Structure 1
């Protein structure tokens, strides 16, 4: 990684403040739209290697990576961040195990790039369905005394002052080996699995990281999985993402059927964010229309800030999901970055909108999560109580909404719903 990208990443992870950071950023901004976008994406998740690579590639394409004045400013910025970190550093054993390495299974219809780096193994183009598993390192976050996760591979020490999750490796596995491996892991986890479908602006690497963070945050007692459709992984990619998520929906439906048939989970938790909720909702409806006998396996369908047309959700999607007998929970949050992008592109109410346009639907547990984080980015500075994971943990443990801490019942002209008060 070039020194400019290293400096920007370190400064953003450290809070994105300080005169040295502002000076370097001001010298870069406006030189290239591609650089501007890549830096904006990095500011949203500095722990993402794919976003770091995007910045490095953009700087090189703009001819800025070799500028000696910019490189000098970057070195000064790295020194400033290092000084701040040294002042905050707490004494302790250097070899303390502060990260947990989890195994996460995946399926993706992204294009295979041929690059061996796990963050670049799959690109943003469309491809054939690939299967495999990842190893992801996540900060332990004070959960050392909790029960061991079934997919915990090992504990390790990492010199990571920013506490980010990291994709360590990604292995593609032939289909005829994948499902027996998955079935074996699910069998050892008492038959439970979680399938996460990420939303707009999410690379393969970020999908893997977020899935591991979700499993760790939930202390999930089953096998975590994700389906990575070909999102462009960048701020300007909304329109392409919108096309690609529709293209992936029938593939996700076919995978969902095959996964339940071949891996034989006794219960599945389906979770999606933003635009990924479109694919998950449509795929689930299609899968159950083809195989209604699979419905009892689907214990929960959770939609976080779903980027779905509100009218279509109310008229068609929600009734079809509720009719399957699955518990459907919707977390509404207009402030979610994915929904903000949706409203800039489409002037149509979304199912995930909150506030005055929140949309309670019969049979769906609707929760106003405006006061919580619905992004699943797992930013280290985000307190656990500010994430919807705290409520989802109680939900999947069987707690009804009336008995969950942090939820408040709301009666309003738009209908009965719940609100998160972290």
Structure 2
């Protein structure tokens, strides 16, 4: 619950991986409990601080310089894979309970140099020096992004450092056009952050995942990064584009051809039942989105396109990449085993006029 812990802002000296510094902390760090597990997730954000007294409202939707830190998110022991457990009124749950819900417990901020030392330390204690970066989509708050990242890495049993980049989405359904402006603004910041991560984290295997509108910033940033630093391509092992809300024609003409030059495997998940992308298509004069399936499915050399239409059962069918077991299992095999679509169980190969794609079996 937002008030589960007494929320305070204080300055403390924290020692993590042998490095100490004075940092502001929102709520006191929380230890594991027999009924829940704490997941530490690194973050970078160009959101401005909005409410220092509320961990859920700490960062808002205004633009700011990039700040860095670590969030703690608790996952209940009886967590269901794919679920982002929250209080529900029909169960008469009116506040968060760490025994039942996925809860953002704390936010710790660090100066940039200290942050990357901590990130480097976390990468160093993973089995293969792995690091995952997640960029969220439209209508997502900072706290939403923190909880989703923790849920994903927990469900994926990801052993490396988990990082999310939170750009200033308003977290409101009716702020779509405002989010479009901000995701374009944030692109340069994400490019700089990716460069810092490659140079300063000592990660040997970097995995990139973007969702929805977040793909606009990540794909462009990735292209910019590889143009200026082609030697970085060996560090990025996989790029996963989930339900990309990008103009499909722009993606095919301008973005994908540049991305595939790095020879990094690219996986694109699409669905014909994705309601937010259907709305986006209407907002954009009927032009298909890169995350559409059906007759608008994007099939390109160098991109493994997966039609996830058959697995969509969630609300709006837009977050299937993190909510549906078949997709979570598919991503698990990408991250843990570097398996290509032709070798992953549950997928059927489909011959299309312009190439090959894969589809989840019913």
TM interval, shorter chain, is 0.7 to 0.9
State the alpha-carbon separation in 2 of the partners of residues 159 and 198 from structure 1: 25
Aligned counterpart, 1:398: 338
Check 1:160–1:142 CA distance in 2 against 1; reply closer, same or farther (3 A cut): closer
State the alpha-carbon separation in 1 of the partners of residues 78 and 338 from structure 2: 24
| Alpha-carbon displacement from aligned partner over 1:156-204 (angstroms, at most 9, x marks no partner) | xx9467x431111111111121010110001111311000000001100
User: Which residue of the other structure, out of 284, 288, 291, is the alignment partner of 2:222?
Assistant: 284
Aligned counterpart, 1:356: 295
Deviates more, 1:242-251 or 1:330-339: 330-339
1:302 aligned counterpart, secondary structure: strand
Aligned counterpart, 1:123: 60
Check 1:114–1:174 CA distance in 2 against 1; reply closer, same or farther (3 A cut): farther
State the alpha-carbon separation in 1 of the partners of residues 103 and 275 from structure 2: 22
Deviates more, 1:135-144 or 1:206-215: 135-144
Structure 1's unaligned 5+ residue stretches are 1-46, 50-94, 145-157
- Asked if 1:250 is matched to 2:192, the reply is no
Q: Flag the structure with higher strand content.
A: 2
Q: Is the 8 A contact 2:301 2:355 kept in 1?
A: no
Larger radius of gyration: 1
Query: Following TM superposition, by how much is the alpha carbon of 1:141 offset from its aligned partner in structure 2, in angstroms?
Result: 4.8
Aligned counterpart, 2:110: 173
State the alpha-carbon separation in 1 of the partners of residues 239 and 276 from structure 2: 19
State the alpha-carbon separation in 1 of the partners of residues 221 and 321 from structure 2: 26
Query: Following TM superposition, by how much is the alpha carbon of 1:344 offset from its aligned partner in structure 2, in angstroms?
Result: 3.4
Count of paired positions: 312
Structure 2's unaligned 5+ residue stretches are 3-31, 82-95
Q: Is the 8 A contact 1:131 1:172 kept in 2?
A: yes
| Alpha-carbon displacement from aligned partner over 1:318-377 (angstroms, at most 9, x marks no partner) | 111111010000001233343133123112111111012111011100000112357448
1:316-395 map, 5 Å:
316-346=254-284, 347-373=286-312, 375-376=318-319, 384-386=324-326, 388-395=327-334
State the alpha-carbon separation in 1 of the partners of residues 151 and 345 from structure 2: 22
Q: Is the 8 A contact 1:210 1:378 kept in 2?
A: no
1:94-173 map, 5 Å:
97-141=34-78, 159=97, 163-173=100-110
Aligned counterpart, 1:220: 158
Query: Following TM superposition, by how much is the alpha carbon of 1:279 offset from its aligned partner in structure 2, in angstroms?
Result: 0.5
User: Which residue of the other structure, out of 178, 194, 209, is the alignment partner of 1:271?
Assistant: 209
TM-score for the superposition, normalised by structure 2: 0.81
User: Which residue of the other structure, out of 212, 231, 236, is the alignment partner of 2:169?
Assistant: 231
State the alpha-carbon separation in 2 of the partners of residues 364 and 143 from structure 1: 31
TM-score for the superposition, normalised by structure 1: 0.70
Aligned counterpart, 2:5: none
Query: Following TM superposition, by how much is the alpha carbon of 1:139 offset from its aligned partner in structure 2, in angstroms?
Result: 3.3
State the alpha-carbon separation in 2 of the partners of residues 330 and 233 from structure 1: 24
Aligned counterpart, 1:185: 122
2:186 aligned counterpart, secondary structure: helix
| Alpha-carbon displacement from aligned partner over 1:189-237 (angstroms, at most 9, x marks no partner) | 1311000000001100000011011101111121110000000101101
User: Which residue of the other structure, out of 242, 257, 264, is the alignment partner of 1:304?
Assistant: 242
